[in-house]
């Protein structure tokens, strides 16, 4: 099977493989769909086990961004970029300015931003070479760290899932297990604690756990123990594919709702299993859209209150997904995909007709 026949490609418009010999930078930029607008998605640095693994990751993530932006009601397409290697080797000005030139070569079809293992400082280096970067510091006209918005949207989404599962969105007394204590996970723990939840946390970095244990009603377990922990709600906030053949039978919860991308290793197979077992799954790209919603505000002229108002709408978006899932007896990822694809078709067609000079309605 050739690259163009690979199922992961799945209608991608463009994939750029870029190498800067001087800095050793190896990067892949994937543009999945631009029907609704320019492809926006963060840049992550990761030491992949192979180049094939990096390709699979960037293709899956960029496709997810298409659906995330469409479902959130944004006029954006989906893209993503990955830089192969270790941060300590490649996280320098020369390498990220080289990456900025790669982004600029796409002429605005792709807009990059901060992601896993990248920082606001790195995005500033990118910005030295291209205007097509979002999530910059307020001093540079951006909105700063998007993590608080992603965390707030995830918290709102957890409340929405609780409303569907329990008939009330109160989290008082509910046990929520948070896997992963990056910026988003830490903010989420604070929101959950303030809402009266009992929070169980885990992370591979002990200092992050110790920081969270200072917060009321927070306890911790070892990373692998989290799957076997008694809980009402599981909130994965680390890397993807953690609900898989090995873990799905260990989880004893009513809700899975967290900020991680691609939580289900096989979204069709595992989505159906969760549906059959009565476990409510909040689709990742719906619940974790707060960051991209906030970044989108920069393209219009940034207003923080407007961003939070839009992030709060995640509650209603998830209610629509849960209702469609119930009505059609399909798993929630299928329901989310259906709603996203419907908007892409309708608005994409509208944009196409505007470009061609046609009108949707003609006089009879």
Please state the three-class secondary structure of the chain as a single string: CCHHHCCCCCCCCEEEEEEECCCCEEEEEEEEECCCCCEECCEEEECCCCHHHHHHHHHHHHHHHHHHHHHCCCCCEEEEEEEECCHHHHCCHHHHHHHHHHHHCCCCCEEECECCCCCHHHHHHHHCCCCCECCCCHHHCCCCCCHHHHHHHHHHHHHHHHHHHHCCCCCCCCEEEEECCCHHHHHHHHHHHHCCCEEEEECCCHHHHHHHCCCCCEEECCHHHHHHCCCCEEEECCCCCCECCCCCCCCCCCEECCCCCCCECCHHHHHHHHHHHCCEECCHHHHCCHHHHHHHHHHHCCCHHHHHHHHHCHHHHHHHHHHHHHHHCCCHHHHHHHHHHHHHHHHHHHHHHHHHCCCCCCCC
Tell me, yes or no, whether 275 and 179 share the same domain: yes
Q: How far is CA 362 from the centre of its chain?
A: 40
Indicate which residues carry an active-site annotation.
80
Reference 141, options 301, 359, 307; nearest CA is: 301
The first and second tokens of residue 11, run together, are: 């209608």
Please, are residues 210 and 262 in contact by the beta-carbon 8 Å criterion?
A: no
Residue 355 is assigned to a structural domain of this protein = no
Residue 191 is assigned to a structural domain of this protein = yes
CA distance 227 to 229: 6
**Distances from the Cα of 195 to the Cα of 28, 34, 118, angstroms:** 41, 39, 31
Q: What pLDDT, on the 0 to 100 scale, is given for residue 138?
A: 85
Q: What pLDDT, on the 0 to 100 scale, is given for residue 260?
A: 94
Tell me, yes or no, whether 209 and 277 share the same domain: yes
Residue 48 is assigned to a structural domain of this protein = yes
The first and second tokens of residue 274, run together, are: 């969760």
Q: What pLDDT, on the 0 to 100 scale, is given for residue 352?
A: 60
- Domain holding 207: CATH number? 3.40.50.720
Place of tokens 């205007």: 131
Residue 353 is assigned to a structural domain of this protein = no
Number of domains in the chain: 2
CA distance 331 to 338: 11
Tell me, yes or no, whether 26 and 118 share the same domain: yes
Tell me, yes or no, whether 89 and 154 share the same domain: no
Residues 6+ apart with CB under 8 A from 260: 179, 180, 236, 237, 238, 239, 240, 242, 284, 288
CA distance 362 to 34: 27
The first and second tokens of residue 239, run together, are: 């890397």
- Domain holding 92: CATH number? 3.40.50.10860
Q: What pLDDT, on the 0 to 100 scale, is given for residue 3?
A: 60
CA distance 111 to 350: 23
Residues 6+ apart with CB under 8 A from 164: 280, 318, 319, 322
Tell me, yes or no, whether 173 and 199 share the same domain: yes
Reference 179, options 265, 221, 238; nearest CA is: 238
Which backbone phi and psi does 7 adopt, to 5 degrees? -60, -30
Q: Is the pTM of this model over 0.85?
A: yes
Tell me, yes or no, whether 132 and 164 share the same domain: no
The first and second tokens of residue 212, run together, are: 């969270």
Residue 296 is assigned to a structural domain of this protein = no
Tell me, yes or no, whether 16 and 151 share the same domain: no
How confident is the chain (364 residues) per 10-residue block, as mean pLDDT?
Answer: 63 95 97 95 96 93 94 96 97 98 98 90 96 89 88 98 98 98 96 98 97 97 97 94 96 97 93 97 97 90 93 98 98 97 84 51 34
* Longest alpha-carbon distance in the chain: 71
Domain span including residue 94: 3-64+76-136
Q: What pLDDT, on the 0 to 100 scale, is given for residue 192?
A: 98
Residue 142 is assigned to a structural domain of this protein = no
Question: Among 117, 136, 155, where does a domain finish?
Answer: 136
Tell me, yes or no, whether 167 and 237 share the same domain: yes
The first and second tokens of residue 90, run together, are: 């490649």
Tell me, yes or no, whether 232 and 131 share the same domain: no
Please, are residues 55 and 28 in contact by the beta-carbon 8 Å criterion?
A: yes
Residue 39 is assigned to a structural domain of this protein = yes
Residue 26 is assigned to a structural domain of this protein = yes
Please, are residues 121 and 52 in contact by the beta-carbon 8 Å criterion?
A: no
Q: What pLDDT, on the 0 to 100 scale, is given for residue 143?
A: 86
Tell me, yes or no, whether 116 and 153 share the same domain: no
Question: Among 88, 114, 136, where does a domain finish?
Answer: 136
Tell me, yes or no, whether 17 and 157 share the same domain: no
85 CB-side CA count, 13 A:
17
Reference 114, options 106, 105, 104, 124; nearest CA is: 124
Tell me, yes or no, whether 183 and 206 share the same domain: yes
């Amino acid at each position: 099977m050739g690259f163009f026949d690979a199922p992961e490609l799945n209608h991608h418009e463009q994939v750029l493989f870029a190498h800067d010999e001087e800095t050793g930078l190896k990067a892949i930029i994937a543009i999945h769909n631009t029907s609704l607008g320019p492809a926006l998605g963060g840049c992550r640095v990761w030491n992949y086990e192979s180049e094939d693994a990096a390709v699979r990751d960037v293709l899956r993530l960029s496709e997810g961004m298409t659906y995330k932006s469409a479902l959130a009601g944004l006029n954006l397409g989906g893209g993503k970029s990955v830089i192969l290697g270790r941060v300590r080797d490649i996280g320098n000005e020369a390498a990220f300015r080289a990456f900025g030139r790669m982004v600029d070569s796409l002429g605005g079809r792709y807009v990059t931003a901060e992601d896993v293992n990248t920082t606001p400082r790195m995005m500033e280096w990118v910005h030295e070479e291209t205007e097509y970067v979002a999530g910059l510091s307020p001093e540079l006209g951006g909105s700063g760290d998007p993590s608080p918005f992603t965390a707030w949207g995830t918290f709102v989404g957890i409340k929405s899932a609780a409303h569907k599962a329990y008939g009330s969105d109160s989290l008082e007394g509910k046990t929520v297990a948070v896997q992963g204590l990056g910026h988003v996970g830490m903010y989420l723990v604070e929101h959950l604690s303030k809402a009266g939840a009992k929070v169980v946390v885990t992370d591979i970095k002990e200092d992050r756990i110790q920081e969270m244990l200072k917060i009321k009603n927070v306890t911790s377990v070892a990373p692998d123990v989290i799957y076997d922990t008694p809980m009402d709600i599981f909130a994965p906030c680390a890397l993807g594919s953690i609900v898989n053949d090995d873990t799905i039978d260990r989880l004893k919860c009513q809700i899975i709702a967290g900020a991680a991308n691609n939580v289900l290793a096989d979204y069709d197979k595992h989505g159906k299993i969760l549906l059959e077992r009565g476990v409510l799954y909040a689709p990742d790209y719906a619940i974790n859209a707060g960051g991209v919603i906030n970044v989108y505000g920069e393209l219009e002229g940034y207003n923080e209150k407007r961003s939070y108002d839009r992030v709060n709408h995640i509650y209603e978006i998830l209610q629509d997904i849960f209702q469609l899932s119930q009505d059609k007896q399909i798993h929630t990822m299928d329901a989310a995909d259906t709603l996203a694809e419907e908007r892409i078709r309708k608005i994409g067609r509208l944009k196409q007709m505007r470009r061609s000079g046609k009108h949707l309605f003609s006089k009879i």
